[in-house]
Structure 1
């Protein structure tokens, strides 16, 4: 008798199904913000929202054109699996949990390695924070090769189609947390799940909030791995990136950091180690120490506000020591 658990389900493309919901939710949020006139709400800027929608469209197109690369690699890896979890509901639930952990580490790497930041930065490029910002997605994620982080899931026995399905569920979940229309939620929810409050922190450029709250669905990963920072009423998030790009051109949004990164890496007179540093070290790294990364910005903030030393997201009293502005040439 055929084992029905081994029949591959026809998993729906949940992100495509959710598109009408996305549009309705964006319009509802816009209506709410206009009706409430809440001062803390970032609101909508027409050109910014249009850019986000175009970025979302480009992401769909790039997925259609290049999605076979990642899926092909995962299907190749499937032949080497050590187990097969099948397609039961509990296998889907376990796959979702582990893929959410995978997403956490992908997201953390994306903020700590310029190579991956080059494709992820566009999601942070809006200085507004509303549901349309969630659609500001990458066109170049395939080129970073980060889909290899899903290979361990395949090898332990989760089918690539299931992984794609739970990944879509994760992305759909993350849509609704891109809003200022929802304040802090019930404490048990805030404790376990990623919420608008937690994700506002992630999108903020305030020094205390840089490089924090990488969660997809479950904020427990940030709490476990020491990257959680709570949103404070006395330090409301300011959105964008540390050096805003000042453009609504979707092509510039999609490719500006790739251009800047490669320009830095191939400038004359550098050692190979320095060139690799511009490609793979954290954003803000420079071979001569002339730029500031997130650690430097946090330390500068603490020097100006010594009473904040040691608070979540900020360094301790050691940040009050004078900053070493330059590295030894060649290091």
Structure 2
């Protein structure tokens, strides 16, 4: 397998899903248009759209590099796992587990928080909030190396990655309240993700799962939705500017690094908890 073959074999699932995504945004907008508390707020919505368009552009520019990295790691390992129906399940679980740890660390260390804070910047939760993917989020690809060195075909791995990403769209809403109990036990739902976006004390750093909530149950980061979430950052950012929302934490880190007087201070600035 070479890079050209990988690009040909990999279906552009995110492009195929675009009509469903935009249709869902329009439907949610229409359903909540008379609800003062939950309806779309114009400036917030266009801020999300601006961030999303920037993210799409960066994804397009870096697509070949991402594919190349996946293929590089696949080729350097001596083992292979043949593709069967169960390989897809293993690959998806592995991708979702990598996503869980990437998400968890992004909330615990300042430099990784800088790649994620944009997603939490809105004080509302609706389908358009899912567009708020940081323009520097590709730095977190390092957390997916375990999937790339698994020996599973990169087409399978990257397809599962796309599906896992698409799954996260529908959980950004207040319109869907609760799913069946069995579904809520295994899978991430809007209720679970509302908790994650809440800045309530009991909701902070909870429910990091992307598709499967079982990782949160296993690792002790699960929290049921038992009070109304207050969305946004604990230190709200008074801006709707997509550029500012993507880089304000990076600017703060750069300012603090200029003042650092030792390697230990540099380490604490980069890998200490978000401030």
Summarize deviations over 1:279-308 as a string: whole Å, max 9, x none.
111102xxxxxxxxxxxxxxxxxxxxxxxx
Residue of 65, 81, 86 corresponding to 1:90: 86
Residue of 89, 102, 107 corresponding to 2:103: 107
- Asked if the contact 1:82/1:156 (under 8 Å) is kept, the reply is no
Under a length normalisation based on structure 2, what TM-score does the superposition of the two structures give? 0.93
SS in 1 for 2:168: helix
**1:89 Cα offset (Å):** 3.0
Query: Where do residues 103-252 of structure 1 align in structure 2 (5 Å cutoff)?
Result: 103-142=99-138, 144=139, 146-232=140-226, 235-252=227-244
List gaps (5 residues or longer) in structure 1.
1-6, 285-331
Q: Which has the higher contact order (CA 8 A, sep 6+)?
A: 2
Residue of 78, 83, 108 corresponding to 2:74: 78
Under a length normalisation based on structure 1, what TM-score does the superposition of the two structures give? 0.77
- Asked if the contact 2:33/2:40 (under 8 Å) is kept, the reply is no
- Asked if the contact 1:125/1:241 (under 8 Å) is kept, the reply is yes
Of 161-170 and 78-87, more deviation after overlay is shown by 78-87
**1:183 Cα offset (Å):** 1.0
- Asked if the contact 2:196/2:208 (under 8 Å) is kept, the reply is yes
- Asked if the contact 1:266/1:275 (under 8 Å) is kept, the reply is no
- Asked if the contact 2:118/2:133 (under 8 Å) is kept, the reply is yes
**1:151 Cα offset (Å):** 2.0
In structure 1, the residue matched to 2:18 is 19
Is 2:274 aligned against 1:279? no
List gaps (5 residues or longer) in structure 2.
none
Q: Distance in 2 between matches of 1:231 and 1:189?
A: 15
Q: Distance in 2 between matches of 1:195 and 1:257?
A: 29
Would you say how many aligned residue pairs link Structure 1 and Structure 2? 270
**1:65 Cα offset (Å):** 1.4
Q: Distance in 2 between matches of 1:86 and 1:111?
A: 35
SS in 1 for 2:32: helix
- Asked if the contact 1:82/1:155 (under 8 Å) is kept, the reply is no
**1:176 Cα offset (Å):** 0.6
- Asked if the contact 1:55/1:250 (under 8 Å) is kept, the reply is yes
**1:125 Cα offset (Å):** 0.4
Q: RMSD in angstroms over aligned alpha carbons?
A: 1.7
In structure 2, the residue matched to 1:3 is none
Q: Distance in 2 between matches of 1:162 and 1:103?
A: 16
